[in-house]
C-alpha cells in the first residue's frame, strides 16, 4: 500500500512524464514543418516513449492501492529557434526528469517503501540512457557546425535511430 506522500510524489511524476510526451510531440511537429523528417520521426518516437513511461507509472500507482491522476497539461512551446537549440532543450529536460526521479527514489527510501524503490530503478536506468543519448546527439550537432551537408546526414541518422526504436509515425 502506498503512503499518501509517495502516491502524491508518483502522481507528480506522472504529470512530468505526460508533459515530456507533449514537449517532444511539439518538437516533432516543429521539426516536421521545417523539413527535418528524421528529427521529426525521432521526436515522435520520444513522445510515444514518454507516454509509455507515464502509463507504466500510473499502473504501478493503481496496483499498489493508490489512485493515479490524470492532470491538465499546459501547452508546450511551439517554436524552437534552431534544431540545435531544440536538442539542447531536450537534454536539459532529460536532466530535469532525472533529478525528479532521483528525488522520488530518495522519498521511497526515506519512507522505507522498498517496493516503490525497486520499481523506480527501471526509471533510473532509463534516465541514464536518455541523458547519454541526448549528450551524444549534442556532440554530433557540435561536430556538424553550420554544414548543411552535415545536417542532411544528421537528419538521416535521426531517422535511422527512430526506425531502430521500433516506433514510427510513417
What per-residue confidence (pLDDT) applies to 148? Answer: 84
CATH of the domain at 64: 1.20.1260.10
169 domain residue, yes or no: no
pTM: 0.92
**Average pLDDT, rounded, for the chain:** 94
Higher pLDDT, 149 or 114: 114
| Residue 67 annotated as binding site | no
| pLDDT at 89 > cutoff 90 | yes
Share of the chain above pLDDT 90, in %: 89
| Residue 111 annotated as binding site | no
What per-residue confidence (pLDDT) applies to 149? Answer: 87
| pLDDT at 170 > cutoff 80 | no
6-35 pLDDT, tens digit per residue, is 999 999 999 999 999 999 999 999 999 999
| Residue 94 annotated as binding site | yes
Half-sphere exposure of 114 (CA within 13 A, CB side): 0
122-135 pLDDT, tens digit per residue, is 999 999 999 999 99
Cα(71)–Cα(35) distance, integer angstroms: 33
| pLDDT at 169 > cutoff 70 | no
- Please state at what angle helix 37-63 crosses helix 148-164, rounded to 10 degrees: 30
92 domain residue, yes or no: yes
110 domain residue, yes or no: yes
| Residue 126 annotated as binding site | no
| Residue 17 annotated as binding site | yes
Contacts (Cβ under 8 Å, ≥6 apart) of 58? 14, 68
Q: Rounded mean pLDDT of 91-97?
A: 97
Position 166 confidence tier, pLDDT thresholds 50, 70, 90: low
31 domain residue, yes or no: yes
Domain that holds residue 129: 4-164
Cα(25)–Cα(12) distance, integer angstroms: 20
Q: Rounded mean pLDDT of 76-92?
A: 94
Q: How many domains does the chain have?
A: 1
160 domain residue, yes or no: yes
170 domain residue, yes or no: no
Q: Rounded mean pLDDT of 98-111?
A: 98
142 domain residue, yes or no: yes
C-alpha of 79 from chain center: 18
Q: Rounded mean pLDDT of 116-122?
A: 98
Amino acid at each position: 500500500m502506498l503512503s499518501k506522500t509517495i502516491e502524491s510524489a508518483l502522481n507528480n511524476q506522472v504529470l512530468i512524464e505526460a508533459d515530456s510526451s507533449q514537449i517532444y510531440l511539439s518538437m516533432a511537429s516543429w521539426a516536421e514543418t521545417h523539413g527535418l523528417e528524421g528529427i521529426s520521426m525521432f521526436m515522435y518516437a520520444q513522445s510515444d516513449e514518454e507516454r509509455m513511461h507515464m502509463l507504466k507509472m500510473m499502473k504501478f500507482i493503481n496496483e499498489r492501492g493508490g489512485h493515479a491522476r490524470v492532470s491538465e497539461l499546459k501547452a508546450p512551446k511551439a517554436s524552437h529557434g534552431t534544431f540545435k537549440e531544440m536538442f539542447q532543450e531536450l537534454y536539459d529536460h532529460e536532466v530535469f526528469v532525472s533529478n525528479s526521479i532521483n528525488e522520488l527514489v530518495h522519498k521511497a527510501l526515506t519512507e522505507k517503501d522498498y517496493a516503490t524503490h525497486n520499481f523506480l530503478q527501471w526509471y533510473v536506468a532509463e534516465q541514464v540512457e536518455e541523458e547519454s543519448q541526448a549528450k551524444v546527439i549534442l556532440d554530433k550537432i557540435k561536430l556538424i557546425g553550420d554544414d548543411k551537408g552535415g545536417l542532411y546526414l544528421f537528419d538521416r541518422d535521426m531517422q535511422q535511430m527512430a526506425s531502430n526504436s521500433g516506433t514510427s509515425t510513417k
